[in-house]
Amino acid sequence: MSSSAPVLSLSNVVFSWDRHAHPIQIPNLVLDRGEKVLVLGPSGSGKSTMLGLVYGTLVPHSGRVTVAGQDITALSARRRDGVRAEHVGVIFQQFNLIPHASALDNVLLALRFAPQRRKRTPDPEDAARSMLADLGLPETDACRSAGQLSVGQQQRVAAARALIGSPELLVADEPTSSLDRANQNRFMDLVLSQALQQGSSILLVSHDERLAKHFDRVIEMGSGQSEDHMSC
């Protein structure tokens, strides 16, 4: 991967959940290295679908999605899994932590199948612990299983898992929706400073425009599609 290539680019992407639904179209979206982009839009505007296309759980009907210079639409599901693990850190809306595994193991899992991220992390366990500590998870909670942690703590674990090993791109789907205002700000600041520190670009999706102040660029997604979605 050349350092000049954009971290993420979507061009002429068309996707629809079924034939009758109005397709989601993303003509052009490019994220450069270190860039922080907020995608705003009401629920149902296709934000999460767009993220699905970015981290390759969804495949567009046409168009190209490149992550770290690799066209993931041309890859097999298995290779796509590999590219995502290596280059994209994801904070899911539902966190998607493994509930019975410890917070530490959940974070370490991000390195398990991503050799480059692991190479950037000489002492994974140490790095995971300090990452969790930096994000405000008390040292004593690192060994508790994720399912036992509070929502706020789970969110920190999810963020640590996304950030460890310095992936080129951090993708987050409504990560602060379950937090109150004060905690929202604190959490965003923590995540952003971590990302900044390690040079990861950020693509964050939210309906909350108050987050805009944290970002370099804001993209609004229309609500047009959602109405078509709802017609039977």
Partner 1 sequence: MLTRLIFSSMRARALTVVLAILTIAFSVGLVLAVNVVRDGTKASFANTISNTDLIVGARSGSVQLMLYTIFQIGNPTNNISWDSVQAIAARPEVDWLVPISLGDSHGEFRVMGTSVAFFERYRYRGGQSIGLHQGAAFTGLYHAVVGSDVAATLNYELGQEIVVSHGLASFIDHDDRPFKITGILERTGTPIDRTVLISLESMEVIHRGWRPGAGSPTGPEPAMAELQPKEVTAALVGIGSRLDIFNVQRWINTYPGEPLLAVLPGLTLQELWQFIGVAEDALRAVSLMVVGAALLGMIAVIFSGLNERRREMAILRAMGARPGVVFGLLLLEAVIMAGAGCLIGAVGTYGLLYAARPLIDAHFGIWLPMQGPGPEELKLLGGVMAAAGLASIFPAARAYQLSLADGLSIKN
Q: Which residues bind partner 1 (CB under 8 A)?
A: 52, 55, 57-58, 77-78, 81-82, 84-86, 90, 92-94, 96-102, 105, 108-110, 112-114, 145, 147
Judged by DSSP in three states, 26 sits in strand
Our CB check for partner 1 shows the closer of 58 and 190 to be: 58
For residue 213, the minimal CB distance to partner 1 (Å) is: 29
Q: Which amino acid is at 62?
A: S
Our CB check for partner 1 shows the closer of 96 and 226 to be: 96
- Strand ranges (E), 107-164: none
For residue 215, the minimal CB distance to partner 1 (Å) is: 24
What is the arrangement of strands in the sheet containing 88-91, beginning at the earlier edge strand? 88-91, 169-173, 201-206, 36-40, 217-220
Our CB check for partner 1 shows the closer of 112 and 210 to be: 112
For residue 162, the minimal CB distance to partner 1 (Å) is: 11
Our CB check for partner 1 shows the closer of 123 and 182 to be: 123
Task: Report CA-CA distances (Å) from 96 to 38, 90, 103, 175.
Answer: 22, 10, 12, 12
Contacts of 129 (CB under 8 A, 6+ apart): 104, 139, 142
Our CB check for partner 1 shows the closer of 101 and 218 to be: 101
For residue 158, the minimal CB distance to partner 1 (Å) is: 11
For residue 42, the minimal CB distance to partner 1 (Å) is: 18
Contact between residue 65 and residue 10 where contact means Cβ atoms under 8 Å apart? yes
Which neighbouring-strand residues pair with 145?
102
Question: CA 125 to CA 201: how far, in whole Å?
Answer: 24
Our CB check for partner 1 shows the closer of 36 and 87 to be: 87
Judging by beta carbons within 10 Å of its beta carbon (0-12, 13-18, 19+), is residue 131 exposed, middle or buried?
buried
For residue 37, the minimal CB distance to partner 1 (Å) is: 21
Structure tokens at 117: 């991220």
Structure tokens at 71: 């066209």
